[in-house]
Amino acid sequence: MTSENQDAATGRPDEFYVGYLSMPRGLGVIVRIVSICLLVIVVVMQVVLAVSQNDPGDGVYEFGIATELSGRVMVRPGPFLLVAAEDGGIEPVLVVGAMKTGALARLNEYDGQLVRLTGSLIFRDGVTILELAANDDAITAEQELSPAIGATPRSVGLVTLRGEVIDPKCYFGTMKPGHGKVHKACATLCIRGGVPPVLWSVAADGSPRYHLIVSGQDRPMNGQVLEYVGEIIDIEGEELSLGQGPLRILRVDHSAIELRP
């Protein structure tokens, strides 16, 4: 039996494939060409998808590693733990809760007090965040620290910024990537759960800028910014500096937030 019949019109072999016989030469050439083309298309698509993904960043999340930090609690405009830096300055460490929760409710009663907190550290772009452990002894009173550990927010002036509303816990290390449309649902749950909202913008020199968004009374604005999470906005407010590090404070009024198309 053969896989070739004569074509009545042309007199040339009419090739067709029979599974248990050798593939006709002409059909084999076509199959090879189509296979190579499909392989090239798959490779190109993989490259395009990889290039189009959001930069996951270099954030570090010390999951499962318990770290103790000592300092003074500041809940407004925090929640922060003010830690003494090696050069004698003050480093504000933003404190968040476990999973998709904030730490404000647990720290309120310790406002202004010297404490030792236990949790997992999160790092990115010079910003330090502490994920407070869920156990009851994660907060203990500290009696032997210098009472000089403290800071008052210093006004830098009025600013108008354009950037994206992010949840800092995911963005700075627990999720990669932790911003953009792909992360909108997760970030919304985090901010709804109490993780303080942060505005991520880019300075003229290309460096990232981060501002903790609070109200004019230094109160959380989680509920007011939910509709803007994962979106690009224009926002106007008073910029404040708190100790060392790139994380600053932005006091705003809800009416000063404008969603970009």
**pLDDT (tens digit, 9 = 90+) per residue, 176-217?**
667 788 889 999 999 999 999 999 999 999 999 999 999 999
What dihedral angle (degrees, nearest 10) is formed by the CA atoms of 166, 167, 168, 172? -80
Over residues 74-93, the mean pLDDT reads 90
- pLDDT value, residue 3: 46
Angle at 50 between CA 44 and CA 51, to 5 degrees: 90
Confidence of residue 114 (pLDDT cuts 50, 70, 90): very high
For residues 201 and 18, the model is more confident at 201
pTM of the complete model = 0.78
Closest to 150 measured CA to CA, from 237, 92, 235: 92
pLDDT over 70, % of the chain: 84
Q: What is the DSSP letter of 194?
A: T
Has residue 46 got a pLDDT over 90?
no
Higher-pLDDT residue of 137 and 255 is 137
Q: What share of the chain is helix, strand, coil (3-state, %, to 5)?
A: 25, 40, 35
Grade residue 225 by pLDDT with cuts at 50, 70 and 90: very high
Q: What gap in Å lies between CA 176 and CA 182, rounded to an integer?
A: 11
Most confident of 48-52, 116-120, 149-153: 116-120
CB 129 within 8 A of CB 95: yes
Q: For residue 174, what pLDDT is reported?
A: 78
Domain ranges (residues) in the chain:
4-50, 60-259
> Exposure of 62 by Cβ count < 10 A (0-12 exposed, 13-18 middle, 19+ buried)?
middle
How many CB atoms lie under 10 A from the CB of residue 239? Answer: 18
Q: What is the pLDDT of residues 166-178, one digit of tens each?
A: 999 999 987 766 7
User: Are 154 and 239 a contacting pair, CB within 8 Å?
Assistant: no
